[in-house]
Chain A
Amino acid sequence: MLTKFETKSNRVKGLSFHSKRPWILASLHSGVIQLWDYRMGTLIDRFDEHDGPVRGVHFHATQPLFVSGGDDYKIKVWNYKLHRCLFTLLGHLDYIRTVQFHHESPWIVSSSDDQTIRIWNWQSRTCISVLTGHNHYVMCALFHPKEDLVVSASLDQTVRVWDISALRKKTASPADDILRLSQMNTDFFGGVDAVVKYVLEGHDRGVNWASFHPTLPLLISGADDRQVKIWRMNDTKAWEVDTLRGHMNNVSCVLFHARQDLIVSNSEDKSIRVWDSTKRTALQTFRREQDRFWILASHPEMNLFAAGHDSGMIVFKLERERPAFSVSGDSLYYVKDRFLRFFEYSTQKDTQVIPIRRPGSISLNQGAKTLSFSPTENAVLICSDIDGGSYELYIIPKDSLGRGDTVHESKRGFGGSAVFVARNRFAVLEKSSDQVLVKNLKNEIVKKSALPIATDSIFYAGTGNLLCKTEDKVIIFDLQQRIVLGELQTSFVRYVVWSNDMESIALLSKHAVVLADKKLVHRCTLHETIRIKSGAWDDNGVFIYTTLTHIKYCLPNGDSGIIKTIDVPVYITKIFGNTIFCLDRDGRNRPIIIDSTEYVFKLSLLKKRHDQVMSMIRNSELCGQAMIAYLQQKGFPEVALHFVKDERTRFNLALESGNIEIAVASAKVIDEKDHWYRLGVEALRQGNAGIVEYAYQRTKNFERLSFLYLITGNLDKLSKMMKIAEQKSDVMGQFHNALYLGDVQERVKILENAGHLPLAYITASVHGLQGVAERLAADLGDNVPVLPEGGSASLLMPPNPILSGGDWPLLRVTKGIFEGGLDSAGRGVQEEYEDAADADWGEDLDIVDVVNMHNGDVSVALEGEDVDEQNDEGGWDYEDLELPPDVDTPKTATSARSSMFVAPPAGLPVSQIWVQKSSLAAEHAAAGNFDTTMRLLNRQLGIRNFAPLKTLFTDLHMGSHTYLLGFSSAPVISVAIERGWSESASPNVRGPPALAFNFSQLEDKLKAGYKATTAGKFTEALRLFLGILHTIPLIVVESRREVDEVKELITIAKEYVLGSMMELKRREMKDNPVREQELAAYFTHCNLQVPHLRLALLSALTVCYKAGNLNTAANFARRLLETNPTNENQTRTARRVLQAAERNMTDASELNYDFRNPFVVCGATYAPIYRGQKKVSCPYCGSHFVPSQEGQLCAVCDLALIGSDASGLLCSPSQVR
């Protein structure tokens, strides 16, 4: 039983849940009815009008009403919105035991100690039926939730079921009601509208409670005989099905669970019992020490119950409703019913993975409590309370996703909680001894570790670490080092949520969220009045959590707010931007779209990402007093300024952020003295004298204005001020201005005019205005004041301004941070684009260079050093040593050790295995066995000249091993790389070596070669195609089809090599036109790609035409046209040549070229070998040569001896099989 809420009060006799709101009514023995909010735990209202105990109370399903009945014989109907009793129904003649609203008709049923049951119409406020028959107190009467039935229980030891369908018919028209008033009495005796259907006898003491099953034709009753009886009924009869024994005293109330096969009963024996309604066995008992139970109520929609007892009531639920789940990357594993299920966020696909052990329904709350998942091993650890805390470990077979019906074997064990701490390790808490057992996936104990504190439960805290929780603190404990990495005082943590990057942690307790970093350094604490249910981190570091009623956020600095209200509790599993994925209590995954604007905005402010702030201000409707207050409070008045339309607020914000322009604009609109004044103060602070002046002028604050002119040295304006003062006959102002100006005569004049003659005289005389002084002395006569003597007095004269007018250097105001943020972003993008284009271009050019550099540089680099070789051969030397170790030192303790030890003989290096297994040249080269490689190549391809292959050999050899740094300062381990790795390859079976050259690289080279040819860079092309020819002997491919491709590649490369060589030769032959023409002509007979052929033809055509060999040229032109050239120029040239040749079909010079006769070109002499003539060929590349070349090195491939014997290219293991 999970207690959700508890009250302390007088004895509770009646209870009723509100169907929508988290409210419960409790009627007390003292006569008070309390209305509680059980979520918040607050008393909302109390209704105190009954006299004596109130035993029955009930909420109306839809209206803001409830009904109560008490020992004052009164039934009262209340409106809780109006906080008052609407009316009272009188009629019962004794205590009222229960009252209940009908679910749709405007009826109330009540039961009373006057042995009657009454049905009332609360709209007409009349009693519409009195059900008589019981001959003792009627303890309870309830409507059937669907049908027109009433069940009642009485101390006469019977339960009765009443049929009230007649009543419904009667009240079909409301007008009847009034009519029926007069009929009441007849009904009273006739009883036609409510008849007893069944009388259930079986209890042998008074029955206290009876109620219907919400869906099935079942009844349940509880009586003073301490028994609970289940009854079944059909259309004609009702009979006793079974009796539940167990209560030790009078059973006071009993209910069916609406959604599960459960019965809940309570009794004066101070216990609540839960029974299995199908097996009819007791499942659980909850006892209280002192209090007898009197009443039960169930929530109409949720799995909540309430029970009233001698000193209050409790709201509880029977089972935990939180689904156990674990998030891993894009997937969620969770338990629903008896299946482990899998949910993929990206596709929102939900699949059943495997069935898990069904918790035997011996007891409640045995379902999965927590779930821990190890993605790499696909293992799931499910913890539950079975057997006082135990876990089950399931390894999910990889292919079982989607179809899983057979129960999988699980490994089990006991322990408070269990959680994965590494890929293949999990920790199990052993509470009794305060230690954790670290186990492997075979459920074997690998390690035991004592915990530093008495731990209640453990959570994951990064690989190898555990978060241990006690009542008042949590610690992070490193299992390997056995040290505490972090500690935080926080009580009753229930759940722990790590951020994706494992940098932040949220600790959730019932009413608080604590955020901390990975070392448990406290960041902030949030307190909630409503229970906290779940939470998750979004990618920006905002923690989003749910309470029973809300989805809320918490920023890293502790600011929090509500995102959304929810109607049912949900458990957040993961957050993707604006979408929150959660599980509800029925185990359904659902995405909730939220408006993240507010917290993203606040977060941006917090992180000072002003560009983002700016764009959010521009693009979204984000305002309101709360936001402005927030911004102001957080010190961002300048941002708030962007939201506000109201001039006064704007003015205030502008002043606060120091934005004087906006402040001036607002002040003009407002135009109030006070605002001008404040504007002046701020402007003065910033040093903006112009604005200060303006502000003072607007407020006509002459004194301040004068002083301003004084301090800014604006003497003109100051004297103007004096004149204004004079006009206004403001003597004091005039005097001040004169003083500021240092205008003594004026001062004297003012004093004189004001009648202060002595002062005027003194002023005049000290300032040396003798004439005036004398005149005044004359006026004063005897009263000439005496000037004080002594002291070193000096005259008060204002200094002359060095600089006058204008503003002072202005204070820097922070308003600018938002300006230009967007613009610069736009510019950035453009630049990037340009860069990208640039890079692309560069890369194009590079392709050839890379290849070029590659081989060249390696050979240069290799020409450095000569280190004596000590390669793999070494492994063999030890074999026959077999160590007679005692030879060395028979005397010491060390040798005693070594004498018993015989070192194993060294094994076969992998490279040796390669050599033994393979007859492919490349694999021998990789193994470093160059002489066998060469012998193989010689035998297979007749290769004799290995010099061009040197770098290839060494590259293959160097690329065959990787280097693994093992033990510090010890020599590295070199590990052989094998080809064709796959996940399922079995270990210890050696594969062939991975080779540094592969076929696809050659294809790239071929493309580059074509490109060079098109561009006419024949040196380049020659190098590339030769490179291909040189690499092919060391290529290994897998399939036979690829072997054919390799062979084809040899032919292509050979043709291009020959062609390029001839073309290069031709270019050297400018002084020998005949030979030049011949070479050009032969070139056209190489097997080229069509575009290249066209170019070759065009070049031959040009050469011949220029040399006057029109006939030959015409032949080339015809051939060119036959290829249907796409290039217009080529076509035109060919046609023109053809026309010219038709006029004059002659050749100026004789060429060794007969295009009608098929021929091949000798690779060395570049002479045509016509069909039928003797020729020899290269065993590798297949180039043809005149017989005299036999025994020479092939001029085309530069590798093989012409005419030598060879078995043919062997480049694939498939050829050997």
Chain B
Amino acid sequence: MIDLTMATPDLLFGLRNNFFLGAYQAAINNSDIPNLSEEESVERDSLVYRSYIALGSYQLVINEIDSAAATALQAVKLLALYLSSPENKEATIASLQEYLSDPAYGNNPIVRIIAGIVFMHEKDYVEALKHTNIGGTMELHALNVQILIKMHRSDYAEKQLRIMQQIDEDHTLTQLANAWLNLAVGGSKIQEASLIFQDFSEKYQMTSLILNGKAVCCMHMEKFDEAESLLLEALNKANSLCSFHLLLIDDAKDPETLANLVVCSLHLGKQSSRYLSQLKLSHPEHVLVKRASAAEESFDRAVQTLA
């Protein structure tokens, strides 16, 4: 558990924060931290590799983690494998299950987080919760909140959030989870979510995650103009990042920014098709893309049943 009264500096704080707030490149660039204990360096490595995964560099992660690496890193590798080759996901899940069933590894929080993420992708929320519900780290709690929101059980999510708040109310993940939940329940809470993202933007470097968070709040408050400018800012940021790191443009372009831009443009009565096709090209698996094609299909089916 997290020791509240710990007085020593938290060496990984910056790295974790960058990672949680989506400043992945910054997390990678500033990962060279001296004087880490063994445990901390494993955590550091896992964060760095997960940042690479978040940036889409799956192959790098798969290549760099060899069989001698710590369990936690093996799990991270599995995540990279899962995301990079959906066609082999059964095998990946099987090896993940193997880890989970081994008492020596199954309790590792990072293994459990990876399990939670993978099963979330599988939409098997119950299985995901099975591994994450115990909590133990802020990350696991935050993941719980997200899974429960996905299950539309904000009541349970709120309970998880309470636990997080008791541990450390000012923790970045607590604040983030709070914002997610606020958005999920809506109403006056949206303003609180907006304040949380505002706090982040004042405190930390602007990331696409923060900008998107602000924009989503704006959209929920029906301030679409404001949301649009925030999203365009996020898009520009992503673009400049691409050219800076010579990454594949489409990969790095933040899919959520594009998706939210589509939504925002629709509400503003502006052209949204360009963003949508960009999104389709770069992230054919994105929820919005799926939603769009599902919509067409269900439209056609509905027309047929009616005819």
Contacts and interface: CB of A to CB of B under 8 A. Distances in A.
Interface of A: 376, 422-423, 425, 438, 440, 446-450, 462-464, 479-483, 850, 853-854, 857-858, 860-862, 864-871, 874-875, 878, 881, 883, 885, 889, 891-895, 897-898, 901, 903-910, 928, 930-931, 933-935, 938, 946-947, 950, 953-955, 957-959, 961-981, 983-991, 994, 996-997, 1001, 1004
B186 A861 contact: no
B40 to A, nearest CB: 14
26 contacts: A462-B202, A463-B203, A481-B14, A857-B273, A860-B273, A861-B277, A865-B284, A869-B294, A871-B294, A875-B152, A891-B101, A892-B101, A894-B106, A935-B306, A962-B260, A965-B212, A965-B254, A969-B83, A971-B121, A973-B150, A981-B187, A981-B222, A987-B187, A988-B187, A991-B187, A996-B267
Contacts of B212: 963-965
Given A885-B130, A934-B303, A857 B216 contact: no
Contacts of B188: 983-987
A962 B220 contact: yes
A970 B186 contact: no
B9 A482 contact: yes
Contacts of B302: 930-931, 933-934, 946
Contacts of A462: 202-203
Contact of A448 (B5, B100, B289, B296): B5
The 5 closest A-B pairs by CB, nearest first: A907-B152, A869-B294, A857-B273, A987-B187, A959-B266
Given A447-B168, A871-B294, A906 B103 contact: no
Interface in B147-200: 148-156, 168-171, 176, 180, 182-191, 195, 199
A45 to B, nearest CB: 56
B126 A975 contact: no
A427 to B, nearest CB: 11
Interface string B193-234: 001000100110000110011011001111000000000000
B187 A977 contact: no
Given A966-B146, A973-B150, A870 B290 contact: yes
Contacts of B142: 967
Nearest to B169: A446
A945 B23 CA distance: 49
Given A450-B5, A857-B273, 6 more contacts: A892-B106, A903-B126, A906-B125, A906-B153, A968-B19, A973-B183
B20 to A, nearest CB: 7
Contacts of B87: none
A422 B103 contact: no
Given A850-B270, A954-B292, A964-B183, A448 B4 contact: yes
B299 A894 contact: no
A970 B117 contact: yes
A402 to B, nearest CB: 24
Contacts of B6: 482
Contact of B220 (A481, A908, A954, A978): A978
B295 A969 contact: no
Given A893-B107, A987-B185, A450 B260 contact: no
B131 interface: yes
B123 A931 contact: no
B7 A482 contact: yes
Contact of A898 (B131, B209, B273): B131
B186 A423 contact: no
A908 B116 CA distance: 21
B64 interface: no
Interface residues of B, number: 118
A981 B221 contact: yes
A1004 to B, nearest CB: 8
Interface string B1-45: 000111111100110000110101000000000000000000000
B44 to A, nearest CB: 15
Nearest to B293: A867
Contacts of B180: 964, 966, 973
Contacts of A970: 116-117, 120-121, 143, 146
Contacts of A907: 151-155
A865 B289 contact: yes
B263 A961 contact: yes
B73 interface: no
B134 interface: yes
A450 B7 contact: yes
Contacts of A957: 291, 295
B81 interface: no
A893 B130 CA distance: 12
B280 interface: yes
A854 B271 CA distance: 5
Nearest to A893: B103
A974 B184 CA distance: 9
Contacts of B182: 987
B10 A985 contact: no
Contacts of A897: 134
Contacts of A969: 50, 53-54, 79, 83, 117
Nearest to B139: A967
Q: By CB atoms of chain B within 10 A, which of A448, A850, A957, A997 has the most? A: A957
A928 B295 contact: yes
Nearest to A862: B296
B299 A480 contact: no
Nearest to B202: A463
Contacts of B185: 987-988
Interface in B92-131: 100-103, 106-107, 116-117, 120-121, 123, 125-126, 129-131
Contact of B256 (A928, A935, A965, A977): A965
A891 B183 CA distance: 40
Q: By CB atoms of chain A within 10 A, which of B19, B51, B254, B293 has the most? A: B293
Given A954-B295, A981-B222, A903 B154 contact: no
B259 interface: yes
Q: By CB atoms of chain B within 10 A, which of A881, A898, A964, A983 has the most? A: A964
Contacts of A482: 6-10
B306 A481 contact: no
A904 B148 contact: yes
Contacts of B216: 962-964, 975
Nearest to B168: A447
Contacts of A986: 187-188
Contacts of A947: 303
Contact of A973 (B5, B184, B220): B184
B238 interface: no
Given A857-B271, A963-B256, A985-B186, A870 B294 contact: yes
B63 interface: no
A867 B290 CA distance: 6
B48 interface: no
A857 B273 CA distance: 6
Contacts of A1004: 269
A1180 to B, nearest CB: 16
Contacts of B19: 968
Nearest to B254: A965
Contact of B22 (A935, A965, A984, A991): A965
A867 B222 contact: no
A866 B220 CA distance: 30
B35 to A, nearest CB: 13
Given A928-B295, A964-B216, A906 B151 contact: yes
A515 B168 CA distance: 35
A889 B101 contact: yes
Q: By CB atoms of chain B within 10 A, which of A422, A891, A904, A979 has the most? A: A904
A881 B124 CA distance: 12
Given A898-B131, A904-B153, A968 B54 contact: yes
Contacts of A931: 298, 301-302, 305-306
Nearest to A849: B271
Contact of A991 (B117, B186, B270): B186
B272 interface: yes
B170 A438 contact: yes
Contacts of B66: none
